[in-house]
Amino acid sequence: MTIFNPGETCWRTAGADRVAFLIDTEAYFTAAFEAMQKARRSILLLGWGFDPRTRLFPDGYDGPNDPDEVGRILLRLSEQRPDLDIRLLIWKSALPVSASQQFFPHKARKWFEGTRVKFRLDDQVPFGACHHQKLLVIDDRLAFCGGGDISIDRWDTPGHLEDDPRRIMPDQDYHAPRHEVMMMVDGEAARALGDHFRERWRRMEKEEMAPPPDAGGDPWPDHVPPHLFHAQVAIARTEPAWKQPRTVAEIKALTLACIAEAKDVIYLENQYFTSPLVTEALAERLAEPDGPEVILITTGKAPSWFDQLTMDRTRGAMIWRLRAADIFGRFRAFLPKTSGGTNIIVHSKVSIFDDRIVRVGSANLNNRSFGFDTEIELGVECDDETARLNIEALRDRLVGHFLAVTGDAVRKARADHGSLGAAIDALNRSGRLEPVDPSRRSALEELIAAYHAGDPTDVSDSWRLGRRRERLFREAREMAERRLRSRGQG
């Protein structure tokens, strides 16, 4: 029985002839560039942020008119192909967020004024929420989905070098190393994601968009080998109950269902980890004598001061809870470092359950990603042995690249030591993966963690900390009671 149930744990499922996983933004930008060059009918982009100055192939600074800036690439394509429909729908970010981005994407509108490129800022979310979905669809034939925005501080390679001159920004400063993962699909899955873009556009512009007429061709990048073939792809969303009767919480439901179903390994990469519901679900599994091991890789320090104050501090309480529940020694939480000890920003949102389910999207493991912001993710459930081996290899490669070893080295260490956690312990001789320190240092931090400041569960408690705390306790208790009842019935 599949874990992907439309209307409950996902929006819909659709077939993809090919699925690929792009590790780090160099891979994403290169694949996106090639796909855009092949576009015949449409290029549709959803984003939390967007900066037209983003260089897709950074190799230093060549002046203000670098030809690989994404804004110039899109303008050039629109001039060369008048029939190509190029639309960008980007979150109209709040002033503090916009200021941290040099007031992009607001300034991006000037790039496209008077051109065929349709650029819009989307404010159709409740106050304090954001559009966090990241999606690129080409001709309704190919789509990218994950955690990556096209912005000036995102490019990096799997090497995550201590110093990399290619991580240069327009102001000649260098941004921190950053880890990202995107998932690429074709076929019906890509068409479904095109439908999602068109619905977002309709809500914002009050304009109906028809799917693009089929023009043939194959925008799949020639250099990217598929990792899975003939897969059913689930699309899951979060949408707040704002101008609609109820919250769409498919990602939340899917996350809890996947945790409950895991047998051997739960592998999580995520920027934020502050959800009490996820924490309690994992704690229950860790308390089982034969439950799965849980590996969490997250960011050492959030990029913004606000998230450092809220998300980083609350994460400590979640880690303490899981360590207390880990009576069998199956939980590990790490912060990745470069060879020189610099924090790597983990911006990916990846979850892999055993060798069976892989999910990649935009949602963090926090309250707001489950009910307050908009989110979207893709998931695949693998049934045949070849597909499962490929998911296992993906997980080994992800772990290995943090440790500066190959995926094959991780696979061998798993075989030698009996588990993924033990393999990491054996391979982590240089300390590239540092255990999370969950300690808090002040009464203010205790208060922030207790009330989940800055992390609403939905519109109803966005400005009501007491209601939020009460709701989180109630939901955690109800989940525990359901779990106890199911055990009794079993």
Q: What are the DSSP calls for 413-453, one per residue?
A: HHHHHSSHHHHHHHH-TT-SEEEP-----SHHHHHHHHHTT
Based on the fold, state whether residues 419 and 273 are members of the same structural domain. yes
Instruction: Determine how β-strand 178-179 pairs with β-strand 345-346.
Output: parallel
What are the Cα distances from residue 142, in Å, to 10, 130, 137, 154, 336? Answer: 20, 26, 6, 22, 32
Where is 397: in which H helix or E strand? helix 385-403
**Crossing angle (nearest 10°) for helices 276-286 and 313-325:** 20
**Residue 105 backbone zone (phi > 0: left; psi -120 to 50: alpha; other: beta):** alpha
Q: What's the pLDDT score for residue 233?
A: 98
Residue 7 counted as domain residue: no
Based on the fold, state whether residues 174 and 317 are members of the same structural domain. no
Residue 80 counted as domain residue: yes
DSSP 129-165: --B---EEEETTTEEEEES--B-TT----TT--SS-T
User: What is the token pair recorded at 469?
Assistant: 């705390």
CA atoms lying within 13 Å on the CB side of residue 462: 18
Residue 402 counted as domain residue: yes
Based on the fold, state whether residues 256 and 372 are members of the same structural domain. yes
Residue 234 counted as domain residue: no
pTM over 0.85: yes
Averaged pLDDT in 10-residue chunks for the chain of 490 residues: 95 98 98 98 97 88 71 96 97 75 77 95 94 98 98 97 94 95 98 98 95 94 97 98 93 97 98 95 96 96 78 89 96 97 97 98 97 98 95 98 98 98 97 90 79 86 81 78 66
Based on the fold, state whether residues 82 and 138 are members of the same structural domain. yes
Residue 124 sits in a domain whose CATH number is 3.30.870.10
Based on the fold, state whether residues 245 and 187 are members of the same structural domain. no
pLDDT in tens, 423-472: 999 999 999 999 998 886 688 878 878 788 888 989 988 878 788 888 88
Residue 1 counted as domain residue: no
Q: What's the pLDDT score for residue 103?
A: 64
Contacts of 23 (CB under 8 A, 6+ apart): 158, 180, 181, 397, 398, 401
Q: What's the pLDDT score for residue 311?
A: 84
Cα 372 to its chain centre, rounded Å, is 16
Residue 6 counted as domain residue: no
Based on the fold, state whether residues 223 and 170 are members of the same structural domain. yes
CA diameter of the chain: 68
User: For the chain, what percent of residues have pLDDT higher than 90?
Assistant: 78
Side chain identity at 155, as an amino acid letter?
Answer: W
Based on the fold, state whether residues 379 and 446 are members of the same structural domain. yes
Contacts of 391 (CB under 8 A, 6+ apart): 352, 355, 356, 357, 358, 382
Residue 117 sits at φ, ψ, to 5 deg, of -75, 125
Based on the fold, state whether residues 346 and 318 are members of the same structural domain. yes
Count of domains for the chain:
2
Domain boundary among 195, 229, 263: 229
Distance CA 177, CA 159 (A): 9
For residue 156, the enclosing domain spans: 12-229
Domain boundary among 229, 250, 275: 229
Domain boundary among 229, 257, 288: 229
Based on the fold, state whether residues 176 and 260 are members of the same structural domain. no
Residue 204 counted as domain residue: yes
Residue 392 counted as domain residue: yes
Based on the fold, state whether residues 263 and 194 are members of the same structural domain. no
Based on the fold, state whether residues 225 and 244 are members of the same structural domain. no
Based on the fold, state whether residues 224 and 244 are members of the same structural domain. no
Q: Please identify which residue in the block is written with the tokens 């941004």.
A: 175
